[in-house]
Amino acid sequence: MKTIRKKTGLLLLLTLIFTAGVQAQRVTSMRINEVLVINADNFVDDYGKRSGWVELFNTSAGTVNIGGCFLTDDRNNPKKYPIPKGDVLTRISPRQHALFWADGIASRGTFHVNFVFDPDKENYVAFYDTDGKTLVDEIVIPAGQKEDISYGRRVDGLEEWIYFTKVTPSTNNLTLDTNEKLDNFKINDSWGIGMTLSAMAVVFIGLFVLYVIFKQVAKLSIAASKIRAKKAGETVLSDGGDISGEVLAAISAALYELNEDVHDIERTVLTIQKVKRNYSPWSSKIYSLRENPRK
C-alpha cells in the first residue's frame, strides 16, 4: 500500500512539473504584435473612447493564459501593470490576439492598462512572465508617430516591423484584399471581351456535352427495348434508320390511298351470318301445351 501511494504521489508531482513547464513554454510564445500610439480616428474601446493600444499575439498551437503576467512601459518597473487573473478572456486561443488599451485607467477593466503613450518621444513596451522577471518580449516604438498609423510586425509573430496605414487591431496584420486572377483580368482584358468569350464557350461546351449524353442515352434505351422485345418473342419493327425521308413519305401516301379504296369497297358489302342458338321461343314446347284435363 505504501509503495502504491509513493508511486501515485511521484506521478502527481511529475504531472504538476510537466504542466508548469508547458504553461511557462506557452507564455513565452506570446509576442507584442502591433502598437498604435496616436488614436485620432481609429477604433474605440468598450467605453466609446479612443486611446493608444497594444496587441499581443499567441504564436503557439495551444491556448495561453496570460492572467498573472505583466505589461509595462518602464524598463525599471517590469511589474507596472499586472494582468488580472481569473478573467476567461485572458485565455488566448492559438494564433489569436489580445488587445490592451493604453488609456492609463486600469479600473476600467482587465484590458485597460495603467499607462499611456507619449507621442513626442520613443515609447517602450514589454511583456513579462508571471514571475515579473522573465522578459517574454519587448519593443521600442520610434518617436514621431503619425495619427492612426500603427507600428507592427509585417506578418503576425515574425520579426520584421513596419508601419500600417490600414490599422488592424485584433486581426491578422497581413490580410489579402485583392484577387490575383481578377487583377490580371483588369490589366489584360479591361473591356471584358475575353471573359465574355470564355463564359460563352463554357456554356456552349456544356450544352454540346448534354446533347451527346442524351443522344447516347436514347440509343441505349431503344437498344434495350429491342433486346427485351426479342426475348419476349415479340416482332421488332425497324426504325427506318437506313430509309430516306422521301421514301417513307411515299410509303405513307400509298398506304393512305390503299386504305381509302378498301373502305369504299367495304361499304358496298353486306354480310349476313347465320346465328345458331341452342334455345328459341319459337320452338319451345311450353307455349304449345294445353292445360291438363280435369277429371
According to the model, what pLDDT value does residue 195 have?
A: 78
Question: Which residues are bridge partners to 128 per DSSP?
Answer: 70, 135
CB atoms within 10 A of CB 38: 17
What pLDDT score does 21 carry?
45
User: Which cell is 265 given?
Assistant: 369497297
Query: What pLDDT digit, counting tens, does each position of 225-244 carry?
Result: 888 877 777 655 555 555 67
Contacting residues for 122 by C-beta, under 8 A, at least 6 apart: 140, 141, 142, 143
Look at residue 246 in the predicted model and tell me its pLDDT. 78
State the chain's mean pLDDT as an integer: 82
Side chain identity, residue 100: F
pLDDT of 177 > 50? The answer is: yes
- Put residue 209 in one of left, alpha, beta given phi > 0 → left and psi -120 to 50 → alpha: alpha
Q: Please name the residue ranges forming H helices in the chain.
A: 2-27, 180-188, 193-231, 245-266
Pick from 242, 243, 225: nearest CA to 234: 225
Instruction: Give the pLDDT of residue 22.
Output: 45
DSSP 46: T
Contact 50, 40 (CB under 8 A): yes
* Predicted pLDDT of residue 242: 58
pLDDT digits (tens, 9 = 90+) for 81-96: 999 999 999 999 999 9
**N- to C-terminal Cα distance for the chain?**
133
What count of other Cβ atoms lies within 10 Å of the Cβ of residue 54? 26
- Counting every residue written for the chain, the total comes to 295
Cα–Cα distance measured from residue 109 to residue 85, given in angstroms and rounded to the nearest whole number: 12
For the whole prediction, is pTM greater than 0.75? no
- H-state helical runs in 29-141: none
Phi then psi for residue 122, to 5 deg, are -65, 145
State residue 251's pLDDT score.
80
pLDDT for position 45: 93
Q: With contact defined as beta carbons under 8 Å apart, do 148 and 40 qualify?
A: yes
The x, y and z cell numbers of residue 280, run together, are: 328459341
